[in-house]
Amino acid sequence: MQKKWFLPVILGLALILVAPGFTGCGSPAAAQDVTPQIQISQQAQGIWVSGSGEVIVTPDIAILILGIVSQEETVAASQSKASDAMAKVMKALTDSGIAQKDIQTGSFNINQRTRWDDKTQTEIVTGYQVTNMVIVKVRETGKAGTIIDSVVQAGQNLIRISGINFPVEDPANYYQQAREKAMANARKKAEQLATLAGVTLGKPTYVVEGDQSSVIYNRGIMNMGASGMIAPPAPTELPPISAGETRITLNVQVAYSISQ
Pairing assessment for the beta strands 122-138 and 62-72 based on DSSP bridges = antiparallel
* pLDDT over 80 (residue 21): no
pLDDT at 121: 86
Rounded CA separation 93/154 (Å) = 10
* pLDDT over 90 (residue 27): no
Ranked by mean pLDDT, the top range of 142-146, 182-186, 208-212 is: 182-186
Give, as one character, the DSSP assignment of residue 230. Answer: B
Least confident range from 80-84, 208-212, 239-243: namely 239-243
Q: Give tens-digit pLDDT for 125-169.
A: 999 999 999 999 999 999 999 999 999 999 999 999 999 999 999
CATH architecture of 42-59+169-260: 2-Layer Sandwich (3.30)
* pLDDT over 50 (residue 8): no
Q: How many residues does the chain have?
A: 260
Q: What is the mean pLDDT of residues 190-198?
A: 96
* pLDDT over 80 (residue 237): no
Q: Where are the domains of the chain?
A: 42-59+169-260, 62-165
pLDDT at 130: 97
Average pLDDT, the chain: 81
Q: What is the mean pLDDT of residues 183-197?
A: 97
Q: What is the mean pLDDT of residues 1-30?
A: 43
Angle made by CA atoms 10, 15, 19, in degrees to the nearest 5: 160
* pLDDT over 60 (residue 225): no
Question: What number of other Cβ atoms are within 10 A of residue 167's Cβ?
Answer: 16
Q: Give tens-digit pLDDT for 67-110.
A: 999 999 999 999 999 999 999 999 999 999 999 999 999 999 99
pLDDT at 5: 42
Q: What is the mean pLDDT of residues 23-51?
A: 58
pLDDT at 213: 74
Rounded CA separation 169/214 (Å) = 12
CATH architecture of 62-165: 2-Layer Sandwich (3.30)
Query: 157: which residues sit within 8 A by CB, 6+ positions away?
Result: 232
Q: Which of 20, 50, 74 is nearest to 190 (CA)?
A: 50
